[in-house]
Structure 1
Amino acid sequence: MFIGLDLGTSGLKALLMDESGVVLGDAHAPLTVQRPNAGWSEQNPADWLTATQKAMTALGAEHDLSAVRGIGLAGHMHGATVLDKAHNVLRPCILWNDTRSHAEAAQMDADPAFRAVTGNIVFPGFTAPKLAWLRANEPQVFDQTALVLLPKDYLRLWLTGEAASEMSDAAGTAWLDTGARDWSDDLLTKTGLGRENMPRLVEGSAPSGTLRAELASAWGLGTDVVVAGGGGDNAASAIGIGAVRPGTGFLSLGTSGVVFAPTASYSPQPETAVHSFCHAVPDTWHQMGVILAAADALEWYAKLTGSTPAALTEEISGASAPGSALFLPYLGGERTPHNDARIRGVFTGLEQVTDRAAGTRAVLEGVAFAFRDSLDAMAASGTKIDRLIAVGGGSRSTAWLEIIATALNCPIEVPVAGDFGAGLGAARLAQMAATGAGVEIAQTPEISRRIAPNTALSDSFAAAKARYRATYQALKGIH
Structure 2
Amino acid sequence: MYLGLDLGTSGVKAMLIDGEQRIIGSASGALDVSRPHSGWSEQDPAHWIRATEEAVGALAQKFPTEMSAVKGIGLSGHMHGATLIDKDDRVLRPCILWNDTRSFKEAAELDADPRFRAITGNIVFPGFTAPKLVWVKNNEPEIFAKVAKVLLPKDYLRLWLTGEHISEMSDSAGTSWLDTGARKWSAELLAATDLTESQMPSLVEGTEPGGTLRGELSSKWGMGAGVVVAGGAGDNAASACGMGTVAEGHAFVSLGTSGVLFAANGSYLPKPESAVHAFCHALPNTWHQMGVILSATDALNWHAHVTGKSAAELTGELGDALKAPTGVTFLPYLSGERTPHNDAQIRGAFIGLGHESSRAVLTQAVMEGVTFAIRDNLEALKSAGTSISRVTAIGGGSRSRYWLASIATALGVPVDIPADGDFGAAFGAARLGLIAATGADPVAVCSAPETEATIDPVAALSGAYEDAYARYRAAYPAIRSLMH
TM over 0.5: yes
Equivalents in 2 of 1:199, 1:31: separation in Å? 25
Structure 1 residue 344 and structure 2 residue 344: aligned? no
Unaligned runs of 5+ in 1: none
Report how many aligned residue pairs link the two structures.
Answer: 479
Kindly indicate whether the alpha-carbon contact (under 8 Å) linking 1:178 and 1:278 is maintained by their aligned counterparts in 2. yes
SS of corresponding position for 1:144:
coil
Equivalents in 2 of 1:275, 1:319: separation in Å? 31
The TM-score normalised by the length of structure 1 is 0.99
Aligned to 1:258: 260
Unaligned runs of 5+ in 2: none
Aligned to 2:475: 471
Give structure 1 regions of 4+ aligned residues with deviation exceeding 6 angstroms: none
Deviation digits for residues 254-299 of structure 1 (CA, Å, limit 9, x no counterpart)? 0000000011111100000000000001000000000000000001
Equivalents in 2 of 1:357, 1:217: separation in Å? 53
Alignment of 1:270-281 (within 5 A): 270-281=272-283
Q: Cα distance, 1:387 vs. partner?
A: 3.1
Kindly indicate whether the alpha-carbon contact (under 8 Å) linking 2:168 and 2:232 is maintained by their aligned counterparts in 1. yes
Equivalents in 2 of 1:51, 1:255: separation in Å? 19
Kindly indicate whether the alpha-carbon contact (under 8 Å) linking 1:247 and 1:387 is maintained by their aligned counterparts in 2. no
Q: Cα distance, 1:376 vs. partner?
A: 0.5
SS of corresponding position for 2:417:
strand
Equivalents in 2 of 1:162, 1:319: separation in Å? 51
Q: Cα distance, 1:98 vs. partner?
A: 0.2
Equivalents in 2 of 1:433, 1:313: separation in Å? 42
Alignment of 1:33-432 (within 5 A): 33-64=33-64, 65-317=67-319, 318-432=321-435
* Corresponding letter in the other structure for 1:47: H
SS of corresponding position for 2:295:
coil
SS of corresponding position for 1:429:
helix
Equivalents in 2 of 1:136, 1:209: separation in Å? 34
Equivalents in 2 of 1:170, 1:457: separation in Å? 41
Q: Cα distance, 1:477 vs. partner?
A: 2.1
Identity of aligned residues (%): 61
Deviates more, 1:12-21 or 1:308-317: 308-317
Equivalents in 2 of 1:238, 1:71: separation in Å? 17
Equivalents in 2 of 1:37, 1:61: separation in Å? 40
Kindly indicate whether the alpha-carbon contact (under 8 Å) linking 2:117 and 2:272 is maintained by their aligned counterparts in 1. yes
Equivalents in 1 of 2:260, 2:318: separation in Å? 23
Equivalents in 2 of 1:281, 1:442: separation in Å? 10
Q: Cα distance, 1:308 vs. partner?
A: 1.1
Aligned to 2:459: 455
Equivalents in 2 of 1:169, 1:265: separation in Å? 18
The TM-score normalised by the length of structure 2 is 0.98
Deviation digits for residues 325-353 of structure 1 (CA, Å, limit 9, x no counterpart)? 11000001000011001000001111111
Kindly indicate whether the alpha-carbon contact (under 8 Å) linking 2:389 and 2:413 is maintained by their aligned counterparts in 1. no
Q: Cα distance, 1:354 vs. partner?
A: 1.0
Aligned to 1:29: 29
SS of corresponding position for 1:13:
strand
Aligned to 2:15: 15
Q: Cα distance, 1:385 vs. partner?
A: 2.0
Equivalents in 1 of 2:159, 2:147: separation in Å? 16
* Corresponding letter in the other structure for 1:25: G
Equivalents in 1 of 2:466, 2:446: separation in Å? 36
